[in-house]
Amino acid sequence: MPLAAAGKGIDMWLDAVESRQGRPARTMFACMERFSGAEVPAVLKVLFYRHRYFGTPLSDLIQDALRGRSFWTVAEREIFATRVSQSNECPFCQSAHRGIAGAYVSIDQVDEALADGDNSPLRREARAMLEFVGKMVRNPDGLTPGDADKVRRAGVTADAFDEAVWVATLFNVINRVMNTVGAEALEASRAQVGARFIKAFGYRTPPPVRFLSRRA
């Protein structure tokens, strides 16, 4: 497809995401904007548009991966998500999940963990896993059995390894979606609002949209 035609197609799709939401989603957006004083994050517009095809299944997977039972703490999983988003150069997801991780530990601790320095507050298992998921995104063809062995020697079990890789895999998907729609980094204040919302309600599609939307 010629580049110009591809760009036109993306513009049309973005227009649909902005203007063709169902009534439950539009009502939720209006309430959120009224109480937060800020525009609804782009990710919700993407996930709520014809949500049964993509948004709801993906949100359920993210909820299970980031909030289900796990060897990893919630903060550690959010830091993994932030590292994947950094590696994929996704400014929206990086800023959003840095803020969410900071709702469970301090932002300073999140930044120290992501810096990979000697001051990292992460336990050694999480430090090893963070290094692995970063390489998994940046250089997947360069991964070797030795990379996995290094993680295992840090004390990460097979189940814990799979849990972290699943987080990274899901964010490889959503990072690409948000980069496609051109979602920009959140300002710190907006990231804090979003973090409070996610901490309170989680990632699943909200019931008004999930159950009342009549659009396929």
**Average pLDDT score over the chain:** 90
Confidence tier at 2 by pLDDT (50, 70, 90)? very low
Q: What is the mean pLDDT of residues 96-123?
A: 96
Checking if the pLDDT of 204 tops 70, the result is yes
What is the CATH number for 47? 1.20.1290.10
The answer on pLDDT for 5 being more than 50 is no
In angstroms, the Cα distances linking 148 to 107, 123, 163 are 29, 17, 14
Rg (CA), the chain: 18
Residue with tokens 């979003």: 194
Question: Does residue 4 register a pLDDT over 60?
Answer: no
Q: What is the pLDDT of residues 81-98, one digit of tens each?
A: 999 999 999 999 999 999
**Quick one: pLDDT at residue 215?**
64
Which residues have C-beta within 8 Å of that of residue 82, sequence separation ≥ 6?
93, 94, 97, 98, 101, 110, 114
Tally of structural domains, the chain: 1
% the chain with pLDDT above 70: 93
Please write the tens of the pLDDT for every residue from 13-56.
567 787 788 999 999 999 988 888 888 888 999 999 999 999 99
Stronger pLDDT, 132 or 19, i.e. the higher one: 132
HEC sequence for the chain: CCHHHHHHHHHHHHHHHHHCCCHHHHHHHHHHHHHHCCCCCHHHHHHHCCCCCCHHHHHHHHHHHHHCCCCCCHHHHHHHHHHHHHHCCCHHHHHHHHHHHHCCCCHHHHHHHHHCCCCCCCCHHHHHHHHHHHHHHHCHHHCCHHHHHHHHHCCCCHHHHHHHHHHHHHHHHHHHHHHHCCCCCCCHHHHHHHHHHHHHHCCCCCHHHHHHCCCC
Q: Which domain range does residue 116 map to?
A: 3-212
The span from the CA of 88 to the CA of 116, in Å, is: 17
- Per-residue model confidence (pLDDT) at position 41: 87
Tokens 């059995």 sit on residue: 145
Contact 49, 21 (CB under 8 A): yes
pLDDT digit string (tens) for 55-77?
A: 999 999 999 999 999 999 999 99
